[in-house]
Homo-oligomer: A and B are copies of this chain.
Amino acid sequence: MPYNTKQQQAVLACLAAKREGCITALELVEDLRRQGFSVGLTTVYRQLERLEQAGHIHKINMEDGACYQYCAHPSGDCFLFKCERCGRILHPDCAQLAALYAHLEQAHHFSINPRKTMLYGLCDLCAEAEPDTAEPGNNKTVEMKDLP
């Protein structure tokens, strides 16, 4: 049975205070130390893993390390969307998204894990500001004819 420690509570509190904000392990220690807490990076990593397993936070694997976000849905019934432009992570409230997951389960027998699934794209705000550049596949550097 785990013990209750100050560091444990501090990490959870910091994540919870960030609400919809996404934060790195390193950023978290710095933040906590700025608040006066004495906490080590190792401990923060340990707590983050625990909190993820307990379902209180999401761990998002990025290209350069992971970041973490508080999740107000410990039951696990939430959807995640990350904007590639501004970096925000949103919890879209969409009935059709829920319906799709049910469909994939029933018709295709794919059991979706919402905790791990992240939709990527442009959020409403960024999509508007986007000067629709960068059509996918335009910056070709490999010739298709070279394919086997």
Contact = CB atoms under 8 A, between A and B. Distances in A.
A12 B110 contact: no
Range of interface residues on A (Cβ < 8 Å): 35 or more
Interface in A116-148: 116-124, 127-128, 130, 136-137, 139-144, 146-148
Contact of A54 (B13, B63, B139): B139
Interface in A40-60: 50-51, 53-56
B110 A74 contact: no
A147 to B, nearest CB: 6
Among A53, A63, A141, chain B packs the most CB atoms within 10 A around the CB of A141
26 contacts: A2-B141, A4-B143, A12-B142, A12-B146, A17-B148, A51-B142, A54-B140, A54-B141, A54-B142, A55-B136, A61-B61, A61-B62, A76-B137, A90-B110, A94-B104, A94-B107, A96-B99, A109-B123, A110-B119, A110-B121, A110-B127, A111-B121, A111-B122, A111-B127, A113-B122, A116-B120
Interface of A: 2, 4, 8-9, 12-13, 16-17, 50-51, 53-56, 61-63, 66, 74-76, 81, 84, 90, 92, 94, 96-97, 99-100, 103-104, 107-113, 115-124, 127-128, 130, 136-137, 139-144, 146-148
